[in-house]
Structure 1
Amino acid sequence: MMENLYIQSKESKQERFNNFDMFFAFDNEQFSKGLEKLEVNSDEIVSIGMSGFIRKSDVSTFNEMMESFKDEHNKNMKNDDYVYHMFKYEMGNHEYIITYDDSEILDACDVDEHLFIADERLKEIYLKAKNHYLNEVDQ
């Protein structure tokens, strides 16, 4: 089987994200444990959203990591195989067989709908991925 660049990229990003010094807290006890884990007090951290927190001193490093994820994705978007697997994976991930919601898939893939509409290559790959996905699910 061919290497799936999209899955590799996703797993690599997830691993780098998971290994970043941060914590998630949904109650006071988790918050206290998170502060201990990072060896800081509450005025030395900043929220990254989704109940996640990092050290204020790590903000630029965190932002650089997130920016590198975007750059990597944009670079990979030039690779037809990456784009095909991305669309197909996210169709499965977002139960496209039930919703048939194209905008949800484009959103999950961080593809601007207006750019998509203007891009024949992306539309062609999307239709190919959609047909393969629906045929496999319909077996």
Structure 2
Amino acid sequence: MLSSDMAAPATQTGMPASDINLTMELLELELSLDGFTTGPDGFAAHVRAAAAAIDGALLFELPASGLIADCDRIAVLRIPRDGSAVMATIFACLETGGNTIRIETPDETTADLKSFAEAFVDVLQRI
């Protein structure tokens, strides 16, 4: 959650403020993901559009396969950090039930996925 008193009803974030400073881009992303109603079939398109609106990018989307609790699908995003050219890797998680998206930051359980995403970006930049 953004904070205990600023939670959006359909979008939550599991990121502590110490991991990624709360930026306008992140707040904008949260607001864009709020009200998601298209279900699993529209997940990737909805997240892609929300990320593009803040000059971020959807890298890829995959089944959660138990990697993140209460999550069916994970979209790996790169978003601007603190309004700069530096990009942060975050995850948009389609919760079980398919109607709620929450933002998560990489942690020890998803460190390998974050490393894969960074390698993916490195390959794309070399092409």
TM-score (norm 2): 0.30
Higher strand share: 2
TM-score (norm 1): 0.28
